[in-house]
Amino acid sequence: MVKARTVGIGMDNSATSKAALRWAVDNLIDGGDLIVLIHVEPPNADHTRKQLFKDTGSPLIPLEEFREINFSKQYGLSNDPEVINILDTAARAKGAKVVAKVYWGDPREKLLDAVEQLKLDSLVLGSRGLGPIKRVLLGSVSNYVVTNASCPVTVVKGSTPSSKSLNSD
C-alpha cells in the first residue's frame, strides 16, 4: 500500500498557479493524498486573521470553509470558482483531502516555511516565465524554492493559448 502524501501547491489564483494545480491533480495526486493550497499574502496586507497568525501562518482551512464568503473576508483572498472546481474534482474523483493555509510575507521564505511546517512530500509551483534579465533583477520565487527546499519541487510553466496540449492529436 502506498503511503498518502502531503502535496503543497503555491496558489495566487494566477493562470500559472492554476496550471500548477491542474498539473498536480492530473499527474501527481492519488487517493488519500492531502493537497495543501499555500497562499502567501504581501507582508503589508491587513486582514483580520493576520494579527493572529502572521508568524506561523493560518491554521489549516478545510475545503468546505475555503468556499465560504466569510473566509475571503477573514483572510483577504478572493474565491476563484475555477480553483474550487479543480479542488472539488480532485476530492471527488481521486479521493484527495484538500486544505488551505495562508501566510504573510516574502513568498520565497514563506513557501520554505510551509515545506518544513507541513512536512510536505512535494511542492508544486507555477512559473511566471520571466526572461533571464527580469529573473536576475526581480529574483525568481521558483528558482529560490527549488534551490532551497528540503522536498522535491515541480515548477509548471504556464501554457500560452497557442500551445498544444500533449494529449491532443
In the structure, what pLDDT confidence band is assigned to residue 168 with cuts at 50, 70 and 90? Answer: very low
Domain assignment of residue 166, yes or no: no
User: What pLDDT, in 10s, does the model give residues 142-167?
Assistant: 888 989 999 999 999 865 443 333 34
The CA-atom distances, in angstroms, between 117 and each of 5, 110, 124 are 15, 10, 16
Residue type, 111: L
Domain assignment of residue 168, yes or no: no
CATH of the domain at 82: 3.40.50.620
Adjacency order of strands within the sheet including 61-62: 61-62, 97-104, 34-41, 6-10, 122-127, 153-157
Nine-digit cell string for 95: 479521493
Q: Which distant-in-sequence residues (6+ apart) come within 8 Å of 24 by Cβ?
A: 7, 9, 35, 124, 154, 156
User: What pLDDT, in 10s, does the model give residues 66-77?
Assistant: 777 667 777 777
| Number of domains, the chain | 1
Instruction: Enter the pTM of the model.
Output: 0.84
Residue-range definition of the domain harbouring residue 135? 6-157
Domain assignment of residue 162, yes or no: no
